[in-house]
Amino acid sequence: MLVLGNLWCLLTRWVKQMLYITTFCLICAPSWAQQEQLYLRKGPGSAFPVIFEVSSTEQLQPLRLQGDWLLLSNGRRQGWLPVAQVPESSGLSRAQRWYLKDALRPGSWQVQGGWNSETALQLGVSYPLDEYRLAARFTRANAGEQVWQSAELGLEQVFSRYADWSLQGFAGLGVGINEQGSRHWDEQGRETSTALFTVSGDVVWPLEKRLDFRLRLQASQALGADQSAHTAVALIWNLSL
């Protein structure tokens, strides 16, 4: 009986120790998981070399924002870190972290505005649809007697990228409205409407995280009226919301 009693005491002590160790690991595991190394670079870009590294739990002071990179300091040294990697334990407030990680992130909607060589105002809006973007465009000219307008719905797609530049195409169907006296869609100057088929190509230059500038070459073919065709060059500003 004495032997059984000793064995029971040893077994109870071992179980308690295992429970203590397991509880300690469960409590400390999240803290260990959150401790990662941050690699701060000499400049705002991945091409710049890493100059020093700190723990993600270390307090960091934000100094300057450039694009999607943030200049941080630990009081002794300073370096650049992508905004997406800024830890919650840094010196930024909750509002500042929201602004950096969410407000600076381009949204899904895009709005466009510009002017083309036919002295017409162009407006547009688009939204992602799988690998394409569903786009609606509106164009209106109001120069003297040449008053006309058109609206198209179609798909945009990026064809290729060259460094920061990209080439994007559009194809869509729509309607063109020719007001009385205008010969844009009708050579007789009659008030009429016609179905349209429009294609365009954009050369895109990014300016900011949310803003880019586009040179657009566009051709529209009337499917009714006098079946006239028109080409134009447009300068477009595109903003991501």
Indicate if the pLDDT at residue 236 is higher than 90: yes
User: Is CATH 2.30.30 correct for 37-103?
Assistant: yes
**Mean pLDDT for the stretch of residues 72-99:** 77
From CA 221, how far away is CA 200, in angstroms rounded?
A: 12
The Cα–Cα gap between 174 and 196 comes to 5
Mean pLDDT across 71-78: 86
Mean pLDDT score, 198-219: 93
- pLDDT one-digit tens code per residue, 101-140: 666 667 789 999 999 998 899 999 999 988 899 999 999 9
Could you tell me the two tokens for 25? Answer: 């690991």
173, 153 in Cβ contact below 8 A?
Answer: yes
Is the pTM above the cut of 0.75? no
Token readout for 80 is 């650049």
Judge residue 5's burial from the number of C-beta atoms within 10 Å of its C-beta, 0-12 exposed, 13-18 middle, 19 or more buried: exposed
pLDDT single digits (tens) 35-71: 578 888 988 888 899 988 888 777 788 888 777 788 8
In DSSP notation, 2-21 reads HHHHHHHHHHHHHHHHHHHH
How far, in Å, CA of 38 to CA of 214, rounded?
Answer: 37
Count CA within 13 A, CB hemisphere, residue 118.
25
Q: What is the pLDDT of residues 192-205, one digit of tens each?
A: 899 999 999 999 99
Over the stretch 2-15, which tens digit does the pLDDT of each residue have?
444 555 565 566 65
User: What is the CATH number that goes with domain 110-240?
Assistant: 2.40.160.20
For residue 120, the model assigns a pLDDT of: 93
Please report, for the chain, the start and end positions of each structural domain, with discontinuous segments joined by +: 37-103, 110-240
